[in-house]
């Protein structure tokens, strides 16, 4: 498969994941049939995202420098953690453990914010000084995400107002 096709698959899965991911955040609605379908769709998009990343890494491995190999290997590991956390979120929503809601939101948040970090890094890579702008993009996304998730958790009663 060509590099361009793999990149298109990867990018499409990531962008679709950003849209579908919004539908799986609400724990109080996640046990219904519709939410389960959205969770499965989101998990499938994450799987396609990670599989296409792995295919790209394997395809380009010989042409990658040491730094790129380390960075892409790290991204592949992050993808594995994202898949594991989405699996855990799905199990929590399907079970009956008390207090599952906060852990569920935490798992979904981790996967969702990781997608935003990946999206924010792309323009930072294309700047004249990616060594500066990549950390700025990551910290900016993490800071905004933390504020938004804490606000959301307060709204749905999972976090005390402080």
With a cut of 80, say whether residue 162 has pLDDT above it.
no
Q: Give the integer Cα–Cα distance in Å for 55 and 69.
A: 13
Token pair listed for 136: 């700025």
Q: What whole-number distance in Å separates Cα of residue 60 and Cα of residue 90?
A: 33
Q: Is residue 120 part of a domain?
A: yes
Confidence (pTM) = 0.88
CA distance to 7, 53, 91, 121, per residue, from 59 (Å): 12, 10, 34, 21
For 8-49, what is each residue's pLDDT tens digit?
Answer: 999 999 999 999 999 898 876 655 567 788 999 999 999 999
Task: Round to the nearest angstrom and report the end-to-end CA distance of the chain.
Answer: 52
Q: For residue 160, is it within any domain?
A: no
pLDDT above 90: percentage of residues in the chain:
60
* Residue 158 pLDDT grade (very low, low, confident, very high; cuts 50, 70, 90): confident
Q: Is residue 161 part of a domain?
A: no
Q: Tell me the per-residue pLDDT of 63-111, one tens digit each, with 9 for 90 and over.
A: 988 888 898 899 999 999 999 999 999 999 888 888 888 999 999 999 9
Total domains in the fold of the chain: 1
Indicate whether 162 belongs to any domain.
no
**Domain presence at residue 132:** yes
- How far from 157 is each of 57, 150, 161, CA to CA, in Å? 42, 10, 9
**Tens digit of each residue's pLDDT (9 = 90 or more) over 108-153:** 999 999 999 989 988 888 888 888 998 999 999 999 999 999 999 9
Domain extent at residue 7: 3-155
């Amino acid at each position: 498969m060509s590099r361009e096709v793999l990149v298109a698959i990867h990018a499409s899965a990531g962008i679709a994941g950003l849209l579908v991911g919004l539908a799986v955040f609400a724990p109080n609605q996640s046990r219904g049939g519709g939410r389960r379908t959205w969770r499965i769709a989101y998990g499938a998009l994450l799987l396609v995202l990670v599989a296409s990343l792995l295919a790209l890494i394997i395809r380009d491995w010989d042409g990658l420098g040491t730094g790129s190999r380390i960075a892409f290997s790290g991204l592949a590991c992050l993808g594995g953690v994202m898949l594991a956390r989405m699996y855990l979120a799905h199990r929590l929503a399907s079970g009956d453990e008390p207090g599952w809601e906060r852990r569920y939101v935490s798992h979904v948040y981790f996967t969702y914010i990781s997608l935003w970090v990946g999206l924010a890094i792309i323009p930072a890579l294309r700047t004249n000084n990616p060594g500066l702008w990549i950390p700025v993009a990551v910290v900016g996304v993490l800071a905004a995400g933390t504020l938004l998730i804490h606000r959301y958790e307060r709204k749905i009663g999972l976090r005390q107002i402080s």
